[in-house]
Amino acid sequence: MSVGENEQTTGGPVGRGRLDKRRAIVEAALRVFAQVGYAQASLDVIAAEAGVSKPTIYNHLGSKEKLFRHVMTETAARANAKSLDVLTAFPTDPDELRPGLEDVAAKLVDCYCDEQSESVRRLLYAEAVRFPDLFDAVRASGPDQFTEALAGRLARLANAGHLRVEDPVRAANQFIALVYEGVPGMSALGTRPLDPADVAKIVTAGVDTFLRAFGTDAAAARAGAAEPADGPGEVSG
């Protein structure tokens, strides 16, 4: 019986060992690609990093290009799963809207700042010319799914009268931008540590701005409650 047959028919140690080896290859490949780039990375180095033979990589994932594509889309999908978990605590109570959105935003930024997520993001930009189709493939396996899920949560809040949202997908993209946009520059695209206090300020300001743009009058008022009396007024949206 072949290894493939064992994996499919038994689901036992052989199958688990094969999956573990595949995961080790993917994670090792991501580290190597992130360190030296696609062009300079070699399957020999990746095999050594993963603790497997070069033929094993070919058996599992094929050529370097196929490996790179798989690494990018699979890592994005795993990161997306973590991001989607953040939405399980999405606020529905209008009295908890602001702190709930802050909590979601802070956890989302943590997901985006994960080392593997940052590596995929840098590689995606660096190799955009070589793999122009990969950008869309990675977006489809990760960020686009999260944006749609977030849009759905925002639409429910709007339907309940807690937000004013005409285009939920656009609002979702704007929420993400408001709470995350300053982070890549602060972290030099994930290459230097972030000060949690600075991240917290970005998150708080982003949620405030979001509620001023999309909140009902009551939600916008809550967002500005902590400001001085002569602070900026509400922004209708």
At residue 194 the predicted structure's pLDDT band, cuts being 50, 70 and 90, is: confident
Distance CA 84, CA 115 (A): 18
At residue 158 the predicted structure's pLDDT band, cuts being 50, 70 and 90, is: very high
Q: What pLDDT shows up at residue 7?
A: 38
How large is the average pLDDT for residues 197-201? 92
How large is the average pLDDT for residues 33-60? 95
Q: What pLDDT shows up at residue 221?
A: 54
- Encode pLDDT of 17-26 as tens digits: 677 899 999 9
In DSSP terms, which residues pair with 215 in a beta bridge? 163
72-237 classified as CATH 1.10.357.10: yes
In DSSP terms, which residues pair with 163 in a beta bridge? 215
Q: What residues does each domain of the chain span? A: 1-62, 72-237
Q: Which CATH number fits domain 1-62: 1.10.10.10, 1.10.10.60, 2.60.120.10, 3.40.630.10?
A: 1.10.10.60
Is residue 93 within 8 A of residue 155, CB to CB? The reply is no
Q: What pLDDT shows up at residue 134?
A: 94
Say how far residue 8 (Cα) sits from the centre of its chain. Answer: 31
- Reply yes or no on whether the pLDDT at 236 is more than 70: no
- Reply yes or no on whether the pLDDT at 2 is more than 90: no
- Closest of 150, 157, 155 to residue 80, by C-alpha: 150
How large is the average pLDDT for residues 113-142? 91
- Reply yes or no on whether the pLDDT at 5 is more than 70: no
- Reply yes or no on whether the pLDDT at 171 is more than 60: yes
Measure Cα distances from 170 to 167, 182, 202, 210, 217 in Å. Answer: 5, 19, 20, 12, 20
Distance CA 9, CA 11 (A): 6
pLDDT above 90 coverage of the chain, percent: 68
At residue 225 the predicted structure's pLDDT band, cuts being 50, 70 and 90, is: low
Q: Which residue has the tokens 């809550």?
A: 222
How large is the average pLDDT for residues 76-85? 92
What does pTM read for this prediction?
0.78
CB neighbours of 96 closer than 8 A, spacing ≥ 6?
Answer: none
Tokens of 139: 């977006």
- Mean pLDDT of the chain, nearest integer: 85
The one-letter code for the residue type at 208 is: D
